[in-house]
Amino acid sequence: MSVEKKKGLGKGLEAIFGEDMMEAIEDIQQGKVDAGGKTNEIALAEIRPNPYQPRKIFDESALNDLAESIREHGVFTPILLRKSVQGYEIIAGERRWRASKIAKKETIPAIIMDFTDAQMMEISILENVQREDLNPLEEASAYQHLAERLEYTQEVLAQRVGKSRTYVTNIMRLLKLPQPIQQMVTEKKLSIGHVRPLVTIEDEDLAIEIAEKACKEGLSVRSVEALTKELAENNNNKKTKVKPLKKKDPNLVYVENLMELKLQTYVTLEKNEIRIKYTSDSDLNRILELLGCIEE
């Protein structure tokens, strides 16, 4: 991407989209283009994660390696921030920020930019997708939030993230899977190919049974497809009662989406309960801090 094409970066992401997102971000951070901001040393304590960050899981080993490098050499590439009501929010560079905290640094070099919520959401998703940092469920959830928040059709969404419409449609269908199967995908016990045929099964117990069998026996994708067809036919022959798809109250879905955007983790509302997923003690502390449950 040429410098001439990027002179308008300070005016908004319209000048970036359609170009190579990662190249544009890196050029801004390395000072190769004038993005309307300058590098400042910002206190880590004043910085908060991007509320629209789609990535829920950070590799602790990789963060520790990066922290060791930062201890020895410092942070070479500034992170991108925007001013918020209290302090700053990260646009790009959350790994460097997290690693700097591990390295016990007090400040980090940063470039302050003026982005809207919609732009923050797009740049976070596109950055992670281009880096291939997201697991399939994180990617699917990110696409759903982007489509709902910005009212994108799947065709427009596919264009914005640089994927085919078929790819976007198929990966978003993963969100229809029962939670235990989604967890198997997140933990890389099953691939997208393994679980794709399970999306069509309305009987959740049967779908979970097939997924667990695939995990336990190490079945191939074709074997899962054949097993799915066989068990579904057997169920029909036995006139097994198939549970209908549950239509969730759209108001609850809306609140779930709001909470997931705020907490950056999976949230479920049902039967007068709120279930918030966390992956580790540090992730739980992060969520408690966002909820204002930890005293300063």
List, by residue number, the catalytic residues.
94
The residues, any chain, with a CB within 8 Å of residue 191's CB and separated by 6 or more, are 185, 221
Helices (runs of H) and strands (runs of E) counted in the chain: 13, 7
8 Å CB contact between 107 and 1: no
Q: What single-letter amino acid sits at 2? A: S
For residue 270, which phi and psi values (nearest 5 degrees)?
-165, 150
Could you give the CA distance from residue 157 to residue 155 in angstroms, rounded to a whole number?
Answer: 5
The residues, any chain, with a CB within 8 Å of residue 241's CB and separated by 6 or more, are none
CA angle 54, 158, 131 (to 5 degrees): 45
Classified as helix, coil or strand, 118 is helix
CA angle 37, 42, 46 (to 5 degrees): 120
**Which value, in Å, is the radius of gyration of the alpha carbons in the chain?**
21
